[in-house]
Chains A and B, each alone.
Chain A
Amino acid sequence: MENSSIEVHNLSVSYQNVPVLWDIDFSLPKGQIVGIIGPNGSGKSTLLKAIMGLIPLASGNVKVLNKNLSLVRDQLAYVPQRETVDWNFPASVEDVVLMGRYKKGNLFRRLTKIDKVIAQESIEKVKLEKYRDRQISQLSGGQQQRVFIARALAQGASIYIMDEPFVGVDMATEKTILDLLIQMKEDGKTIIIVHHDIQTVSNYFDYIVMLNTRLIAHGPTNEVLTEENLQATYGGQLNIISKIQSIIKEKEFPLREKGFEDK
């Protein structure tokens, strides 16, 4: 696709030989809020990590803005799940948000005034200016989530990739994040969000990717969010795949035979 933010081709990922993502193929539009949805263990977070180049691929490739990831890394900002870090780390809100200004080129140098100003603006965008000097362990879960989003904002990217930003947050945070997403979309940013709550899908997202190890469907939310697709994503049809997954695990079989790569 000419105008795609992210393209994924024949992507497979396995953990210890068990396939977690199986031959995934799609491309996502620019400037929209995209939801990646599916049940627990369907490979949503793995897909994000594969797109960000954080884990090795068993096969396939990913293009960001029609280029290889390494050429456009500055255009991507990643918001990991909140529980993946220890919030007891000695740092203030500002310290964490300033990490968003860390780039390969400036890690040996001091941060500039401009970096500090951008960090301050990002903190204001998520409405945490009162907590700028607060130790991060003294924040609520929702506030911690906003710190992570502020750090991504400080990166000044054009594509934002967020892993479950709505999990365990309070109403105020949910509202702040939603308003912010709409603002970002108006500024032409692309936002890709892993999400598992089906209730809110049609309110939050313009475009969705439905996933359960295999790609079930992708497209504009109003076209793709059908009873049939939901059944396929969350229903029991994929039992056979999970059975095969466990057989592969038991016998330590490779997902693909070596030397027989698809062309």
Chain B
Amino acid sequence: MASIASARIKREFREVVTSDELTRCKIKLELLNDNFTELKGEIGGPPDTAYEGGTFQLEIKIPETYPFNPPKVRFLTKIWHPNISSVTGAICLDILKDQWAAAMTLRTVLLSLQALLATPEPDDPQDAVVANQYKSNNKIFLKTARHWTNVYAGSTSAAEPEFDSQVKKLVDMGFDSHKSRVALSSHLWNVEQAIESLYD
């Protein structure tokens, strides 16, 4: 790996680990190998959002050309968000693409992702189904997002017990629980439509 990339990551890692933001903003960084090419990030769901209380894990891969090219980041934790794929965790965020600038750091990336959770951009979606729901049925979107946060990101606040029982209904029919949850979330928690889509 180019020495400039590993030197930067070393410094950025230290910057995140030693800053008080660790506790204040709930951001974390963990090294996965000794040559600074792979890291695991963690951000807390921002307060007063559907993601509050959740902890979201991120896969971070540093290209050899870093910081001249952005790091490759995706969500490992499943999340219901217009700009994040509910299937792959891929993120649609300009600074991770053409709006990257060499002075940005892993810290600014993590903070930007936190900001993205607080203010989705439904007009520049990664997941069209979620973005559509966000715009046309925001109430259900918020409940669904909260439910996903509860199930996948470990939040204990505001569970949606009726969603749980609907998922259980499908699981009892023999469907996989995650697939059932995706089907229900994508069909405004309409059980019949969800079952239909699972049979397709």
A and B found bound together: no
- Please report B residues at the A interface, Cβ cutoff 8 Å: none
